[in-house]
Structure 1
Amino acid sequence: MFRARIRLVAMAALVLLTSLPASAGSNKDADTSDVLGTWTFQTRPYRNGECLMTGTMHLSPHPEPGQYACELTAVEVCSLWGRSVVRQSCQARRFGDQVSIRSQIEEMLESKVEGLVYMPDNFTLTIESANRMFGALVSAVTAPAEFRRANDGIS
């Protein structure tokens, strides 16, 4: 009687597992193409509401699994010192649904303040869908940030 119950439970579990869709329980790291491409981003206001950052980021393939080459252009507007536009190279790493972006400044394209010290813009993000990542700017300041997939239009 006991063995019959165990067999019945085992068969029920097997039927349940084989009826699940193939994508159930799959590892997101297996398909890294979903974050490749161009993204726009915006932070929430920071420095007591005086500053806001927007920009674009492009993620491209890297030979190492879970890594991406990237470049970003950040536009920071602060009522305290004006507008800065900074081109940065970056490396991105993906761990499941988490993406870590570490940047290096390549060129200061625009700055209203002579000698302004601008720190590289790093981000820690969570992939929420194929079109949205949310997380934080982690640089000289910390602020919530949202990334949306850019719509490449026809010009």
Structure 2
Amino acid sequence: MSTYLKPALGLLFLALAAGLPASAVKGKTDTDKSDVLGSWSFQTRPYREGQCVMTGTMNLSPHPEEGRYDCEITAVEMCSMWGRSVVRQSCDARRFGNQVSVRSTIEEMIESKAPDLLYVPDNFTLTIQSHERMFGALVSAVTAPVEFRRANDGIS
């Protein structure tokens, strides 16, 4: 190979690599551990015969153990029969392939309209759809479909 052709091929390779997504250049895929780290917003479909809906945020942060994350959830449950509850929860998330299991512990009841209301921790079973979306179920005192989106995208 001529000495002029080697630099030209090198430049061609760099140009092609520059056009690839960063994940391809770094060897990452949509199922990398880092893809679920960060802030998420979520919303359930209506439950309790359409009288309740839950929205909130979840932040996943690194944990030393592979496939595990530390997390915090702030859940806002709005029910026509007893009003609004806002609950801060710590949680432990574990990833198995494209599945994420979130188990929560109530840290603080920030707001509750019903003083005798027994609030059960909010757990989730999720499937990673993409870097921006997870879909699954709220598994708590009730079960309801839920969608998680990157917090910067929001849910309308």
Interval of TM-score (by shorter of Structure 1 and Structure 2):
0.7 to 0.9
Q: What is the rounded CA distance, in whole Å, between the counterparts of 2:96 and 2:29 in structure 1?
A: 9
Question: What corresponds to 1:43 in structure 2?
Answer: 44
| Shift in alpha-carbon separation, 1:28–1:102, aligned structure 2, 3 A | farther
Deviation at 1:72, TM superposition (A): 0.3
Sequence identity, in percent? 75
Q: What is the rounded CA distance, in whole Å, between the counterparts of 1:98 and 1:144 in structure 2?
A: 15
Q: How does 1:79-118 map to 2 (within 5 A)?
A: 79-118=80-119
Helix, strand or coil at the partner of 1:124: strand
Q: How does 1:5-154 map to 2 (within 5 A)?
A: 31-151=32-152
* TM-score, scaled to structure 1: 0.79
Letter in 1 for 2:73: L
Letter in 1 for 2:101: S
Deviation at 1:126, TM superposition (A): 0.1
Contact 1:93 1:101 (C-alpha < 8 Å) held by counterparts: yes
Q: What is the rounded CA distance, in whole Å, between the counterparts of 2:151 and 2:29 in structure 1?
A: 22
Deviation at 1:115, TM superposition (A): 2.0
Q: Per-residue CA shift, 1:84-108, capped at 9, x if unaligned?
A: 0000000000000000000000000
Q: What is the rounded CA distance, in whole Å, between the counterparts of 1:30 and 1:98 in structure 2?
A: 10
Helix, strand or coil at the partner of 1:53: strand
Contact 1:92 1:100 (C-alpha < 8 Å) held by counterparts: yes
Runs of 4+ in 1 over 6 A off after TM superposition: 26-30
Contact 2:134 2:147 (C-alpha < 8 Å) held by counterparts: yes
Helix, strand or coil at the partner of 1:113: coil
* TM-score, scaled to structure 2: 0.78
- Aligned residue pairs, count: 128
Q: Give the aligned CA root-mean-square deviation in angstroms.
A: 1.9
Q: What is the rounded CA distance, in whole Å, between the counterparts of 1:95 and 1:50 in structure 2?
A: 33
Deviation at 1:27, TM superposition (A): 9.9
